[in-house]
Amino acid sequence: MKPLVDLAGKRGLVVGIANEHSIAAGCAEAFAQCGARLAATYLNAKAEQYVAPVAECLGVEWTAPCDVRVPGELEALFEKVRTKWGGLDFLLHSIAFAPRDDLHGRVVDSSAEGVAIAMDVSCHSFLRMARLAEPLMPDGGCLLCVTFYGSDRVVEHYNLMGPVKAALESATRYVAAELGSKGIRAHAISPGPIATRAASGIERFDELIERAAAAVPEGKLVEVADVGALAAFLVSDAAKRITGTIIPVDSGLHLLA
């Protein structure tokens, strides 16, 4: 009998590996352990040096640049998926960005430009990827993105990313509804606080981690491997009747008022 979470032969694109500690890297490791064939992206030539060793360690078949703000680069990535593989079975979107001044300031003071950039990179890029992945998934597939509980409650210093993640979660539901007839599922994974390079951009994030660790029912925060385990399940056939969900993997942090 095959294991319940069996990704053998499935082709997955991982967008957002920054280094070995990133959430995307933890997910990629889980995908690889379950037998998936992987491709991964790096932001630019400077970032490639940090992504390449992770990709090599995990047996990633190929890598490509992906800066969603560079015109044509995302389209070129999916064209490479088509020419290399002829199709795609799952995708992980694990990228987010907001200009420093807008991220560190009050939401009410955020600039129109800052909001536009944050929404473009952190939310609309997921919709663009869904649109580009759709023709590559004639037999169905799964689209994942990464969110945070600051989307539905006020988290100190999370600021502008709260409304942006709320938009991402709503977009995920619409993607699931609109692509469901084609067998394409969509989910947003919501980890608790994890010390990653991306999180370091949030002011006093270390204090948020300390408070969360002291409060969670399990007494221990999640690691990237925990997020990866959930991601591997969601893209597998074992989860083929689950779609449109915002799933917390946070040691119970979402239970607390």
User: Catalytic residues, which ones?
Assistant: 158, 165
In the block, tokens 């169905």 appear at 140
In sequence order, the β-bridge partners of residue 91 are: 13, 143
Q: Where are the alpha helices (DSSP H) in the chain?
A: 23-33, 45-58, 73-85, 100-104, 112-119, 125-133, 161-179, 205-215, 224-235
Give how far Cα 127 sits from Cα of 133, 146, 172, Å.
10, 13, 8
Q: How far apart are CA 193 and CA 253, in angstroms?
A: 9
Alpha carbon of residue 44 to chain centroid: 18
Residue of 41, 151, 141, 55 whose CA lies nearest to 94: 41
Q: How far apart, in whole angstroms, are the C-alpha atoms of residue 89 and residue 141?
A: 5
Residue 45 CB neighbours (<10 A): 8
> How far apart are alpha carbons 237 and 142 in whole angstroms?
10
Name every residue whose Cβ is closer than 8 Å to that of residue 257 and which is 6 or more positions away in sequence: none
Q: Choose among 176, 89, 84: nearest CA to 133.
A: 89
Distance CA 241, CA 121 (A): 29
